[in-house]
Amino acid sequence: MSTPKPPSSEDLLGQKYDRCLADFLVKAGVGFSAGVVLSVVLFRRRTWPIALSTGFGAGIAYADCDRSFNPARIPGTRIISQLPGTEGK
Amino acid sequence: MYRTLGGRVVPSTARGGVRVIRRRLATETPTTEPLPQKKRHIVRTILLTTTGLVGTFYIGSPFLAFKNEPYHEFFTEQVPLGYSMMQYAEDNNWETMTLDSILTSSQQTFASAQRYVTDTLSGKSGTAEEAKTAVKNTKDAAVKAIQDSKDRATSAAARIKTGIKKETSTATAIVKHQSEQFSRGVQELIREAEAALTNGTGPDSASTPDAPASSSQSPPTDAADRSVYNAPLPVGFELPPGYSRPTPPPKKPEPEPETPPLPRLSPTLDSITASEPIIAHLAGTIDNLTSYLEKNPAANAQAAPVLENAKEDLTALAARIEKVRDDERAELEAKLDEQTREYTVKLMDLEMEAQDRLDGQEQEFRRYFDEERARLTHAYREKLENELHTQTELINERLKEEVIAQGIELQRRWIREIKVRVEEERGGRLAKIDELSANLKRLERVALDNSTYLDENIRIHALWSALRALSSSALSSPVRKPFREELRVLRHVAAAREDPVAVAALESLEGSDVPDVGVEPFADLATWFTAEVAPKVSHVALVPDENAGLLSHLASRAFAGLRFKRQGLVNGDDVLSVLARAEYHLNEKDLDSAARELNQLKGTARLLLHDWLEAARRRLEVQQALEVVQAQATLASLLVV
């Protein structure tokens, strides 16, 4: 608000939420679209390919969003609570 | 005794000395005659020979000296008594003397002596005549002596300038010698008389007056006597055969008056005996004879008239002698006086002449002396003037030096005096000036203090003004605006005051970019917190600090709305309590406490509060710096006051 160029620190979460939503919509739409094509082309109009590909898209979007909220969370790793500050920053 | 005494006393007088000289020739010449006759004793021979030789030498030398000039010189200068001998020879004109004249003179003297002797032999009545002749002789002799002495005196006066001393010495020597000889002759006579007396025949009245007369009155008569008595001269010896004959006759008539009429001579002759002791003696002898005759009464009658006669004769003789002596004395004295006057006149003339010559010489000397004196005076005056000139120069120079020295001394003294005066003045008026200057200094100090005080005040005032400007522009302005200009002014003011604390605080502030961007106003910050920051932070209040994923956030957002909003100072460490306390502090306008509360948050909430905390901290920094400066300014103003 007062600082126009860089977003203010209190608006960081809102931005993340916005980006996550946009990403979900894009990825879920891409998955749905891909499922429709596949069902029409390959599976003679069956519905399950459409749900599956939409699920894939939604899932990828969720993973990305979660990683944006907690960038230190990497699969296969576990962060000890001794050093929480460094992860957070 | 009496005779010897009388015989010696008389020739010692000056009168007799001159005459003796003449007699000497008579004594010396006969000595040559007896020389060959006496050869009995060696001593006598030698004595006589030497006497004869010496006499011959001394008498012959003048004759030779008159002929031979070198011998004259030799004789006068080398031979003792030679000069006086020559003198005597010149005086008696020996130059012209010849053998004949000598012979004639000796014959004359011999004849006179013989006549005298015969006169004496002729009797007592002849005494007067004898005395007369004797007087005549003495007169002649005196005249001669006077002549001699005159000649000698003139010659001596002529020679006074050349050698008085020598002359006197030689003269005295001659006189001594001759007086000795004369005394010797007299002694011999006396001895002879004594011998005649003691021979028993008795003294004769004729011979007795002779002896005193000869001894006392006139040496020339003595000389005449002696020419007669010369032969029997050797004392104590027998009389020579040839020449002693004339002497005995006078002795023989002497015993005749020995008649004893018993008169005494000595009382009647009292008046004479006083002056003539020898007569008195003779009288005594006659008295003795008288007494002797008294004892022999046989011859008494015969002797009485003879003795009476002798007495009369003796008294008459004594009176006569006295008279003659007095006359002679008077005459001689008159002559001597005349001579004395004459010589005095001569001496006066000589003296005058010498005086004139001396005067002339003196005048010449005086003139020469005057000239010399004038010359010397001139020379000495010139010298003196030169000396004076140099002395004057020297003195002037010295005086100049002294004047310079005195000038220096005076200057020094003046300076000292001036110093003393100045000291006195300082003690008086200048002391007041000192006081005034001290007062002025004090005033100056006060003024300086005042000025510094004022300066300080002004500076503090400026500081305060700058501080107020800065605070007004930075802190209390309604909008956020840069305040670098104000900060610079404030910093300069603080640097001018040399306040290290303020300068350090301001420098740290100036080093950052805060003055360029300015600080958020407190109202904005509060609004920002309450409107924006606090709700969003409260949405993430439940999100865990770690591994907060999307679901946690969504859940926190979902459940945060459900919680009760807390208000005021509440306890608790959760985010909502902290936010409530911060909101409370902000409401109390305590940004510092609010920032401190919010600074405790962690995790996602801290992330959200980051910007606000930054703005709040900046504002707090500026505020703190300004507070420090303000404290310093307050302190300075307090110190000034």
Mutate to test the interface with B, among A5, A9, A64 (most CBs of B within 10 A): A9
Does the model's pTM come out above 0.80? no
- The more confidently predicted of residues B104 and B227 is B104
DSSP structure string for B324-377: HHHHHHHHHHHHHHHHHHHHHHHHHHHHHHHHHHHHHHHHHHHHHHHHHHHHHH
Task: Render pLDDT for B54-102 as a digit per residue (tens, 0 to 9).
Answer: 888 888 888 888 888 888 888 888 888 888 888 888 887 777 777 777 7
**In whole angstroms, what is the distance from residue B127 CA to residue B133 CA?**
10
**pLDDT of the residue at B153:** 60
Closest CA–CA distance from residue B640 to any residue of chain A (Å):
45
pLDDT level of residue B347 (50, 70, 90 thresholds) = very high
Residue B622 pLDDT > 80:
yes
Inspect the interface and report whether the beta carbons of B550 and A20 lie closer than 8 Å. yes
If interface means Cβ-Cβ distance under 8 Å, which residues of chain A face chain B?
1-3, 8-14, 20, 62, 65-66, 69-70, 72-73, 79, 81, 84-85, 87-89
- The more confidently predicted of residues B126 and A52 is A52
Residues in chain B within 8 Å Cβ distance of A59: none
pLDDT level of residue B47 (50, 70, 90 thresholds) = very high
pLDDT level of residue B14 (50, 70, 90 thresholds) = very low
Lowest mean pLDDT among B299-303, B386-390, B413-417, B554-558: B299-303
Residues in chain A within 8 Å Cβ distance of B552: 69
Q: For chain B, how many residues are written?
A: 641
Residues in chain A within 8 Å Cβ distance of B549: 66, 69-70, 73
Selection from B479, B468, B450 nearest residue B640 by Cα = B450
Exposed/middle/buried for B181, CB within 10 Å: 0-12, 13-18, 19+?
Answer: middle
**pLDDT of the residue at B18:** 44
Task: Render pLDDT for B231-240 as a digit per residue (tens, 0 to 9).
Answer: 545 555 555 5
**pLDDT of the residue at A24:** 93
Residues in chain A within 8 Å Cβ distance of B553: 13, 69
- The winner for highest mean pLDDT among B120-134, B260-274, B296-310, B625-639 is B625-639
Selection from B26, B239, B244, B221 nearest residue B115 by Cα = B221
**In whole angstroms, what is the distance from residue B358 CA to residue B352 CA?**
9
**pLDDT of the residue at B123:** 55
Mean per-residue pLDDT over chain A, rounded: 80
Average pLDDT over residues A20-48: 89
**pLDDT of the residue at B276:** 66
- The more confidently predicted of residues B224 and B276 is B276
Contact B555, B542 (CB under 8 A): yes
Average pLDDT over residues B422-430: 78
Average pLDDT over residues A38-45: 86
At a CB cut-off of 8 Å and minimum separation 6, what does B209 contact?
Answer: B127, B279, B317, B318, B321
**In whole angstroms, what is the distance from residue B88 CA to residue B90 CA?**
5
**pLDDT of the residue at A48:** 86
**pLDDT of the residue at B1:** 39
- The more confidently predicted of residues B33 and B628 is B628
Task: Render pLDDT for B141-173 as a digit per residue (tens, 0 to 9).
Answer: 667 766 776 676 666 556 554 544 554 555 556
**pLDDT of the residue at B407:** 92
Selection from B370, B17, B381, B67 nearest residue B180 by Cα = B17
**pLDDT of the residue at B480:** 82
Closest CA–CA distance from residue B501 to any residue of chain A (Å):
34
Residue B470 pLDDT > 70:
yes
pLDDT level of residue B216 (50, 70, 90 thresholds) = very low
pLDDT level of residue B128 (50, 70, 90 thresholds) = low
**pLDDT of the residue at B183:** 65
Average pLDDT over residues B14-19: 45
Task: Render pLDDT for B233-274 as a digit per residue (tens, 0 to 9).
Answer: 555 555 555 554 444 444 444 444 444 456 666 666 666 556
- The more confidently predicted of residues B25 and B120 is B120
pLDDT level of residue B209 (50, 70, 90 thresholds) = very low
Mean per-residue pLDDT over chain B, rounded: 76
**pLDDT of the residue at B201:** 44
Average pLDDT over residues B326-336: 92
**pLDDT of the residue at B40:** 64
Closest CA–CA distance from residue B469 to any residue of chain A (Å):
25
Q: ipTM strictly over 0.90?
A: no
User: A62 to chain B: nearest residue by CA?
Assistant: B550
Residue the block writes with tokens 């002396």:
B369
Average pLDDT over residues B607-616: 87
What is the count of residue pairs from A and B with beta carbons less than 8 Å apart?
65
- The winner for highest mean pLDDT among A22-26, B121-125, B466-470 is A22-26
The beta strand positions in B53-95, using DSSP E, are none
Average pLDDT over residues A10-14: 83
**pLDDT of the residue at B253:** 44
Average pLDDT over residues B510-533: 85
Selection from B544, B484, B541, B534 nearest residue B509 by Cα = B484
Residue the block writes with tokens 């004849």:
B111
- The winner for highest mean pLDDT among A1-15, B24-38, B82-96 is B82-96
**pLDDT of the residue at B333:** 92
Inspect the interface and report whether the beta carbons of A88 and B546 lie closer than 8 Å. yes
**pLDDT of the residue at B349:** 92
**pLDDT of the residue at B29:** 47
Task: Render pLDDT for B171-193 as a digit per residue (tens, 0 to 9).
Answer: 556 666 766 676 676 677 777 76
**In whole angstroms, what is the distance from residue B536 CA to residue A13 CA?**
9
**pLDDT of the residue at A59:** 92
**pLDDT of the residue at B224:** 45
**pLDDT of the residue at B340:** 92
Q: Looking at the complex, does the CB of residue B479 fall below 8 Å from at least one CB of chain A? A: no
Residue B318 pLDDT > 60:
yes
Inspect the interface and report whether the beta carbons of B528 and A66 lie closer than 8 Å. no
- The more confidently predicted of residues A72 and B345 is B345
pLDDT level of residue B230 (50, 70, 90 thresholds) = low
Average pLDDT over residues B108-134: 70
Average pLDDT over residues A38-54: 87
Residue the block writes with tokens 């040399």:
B498
Average pLDDT over residues B486-493: 84
Average pLDDT over residues B299-321: 80
Inspect the interface and report whether the beta carbons of A13 and B553 lie closer than 8 Å. yes
Contact B563, B576 (CB under 8 A): yes
Task: Render pLDDT for B217-228 as a digit per residue (tens, 0 to 9).
Answer: 444 444 444 445
- The more confidently predicted of residues B432 and A62 is A62
Inspect the interface and report whether the beta carbons of B546 and A73 lie closer than 8 Å. no
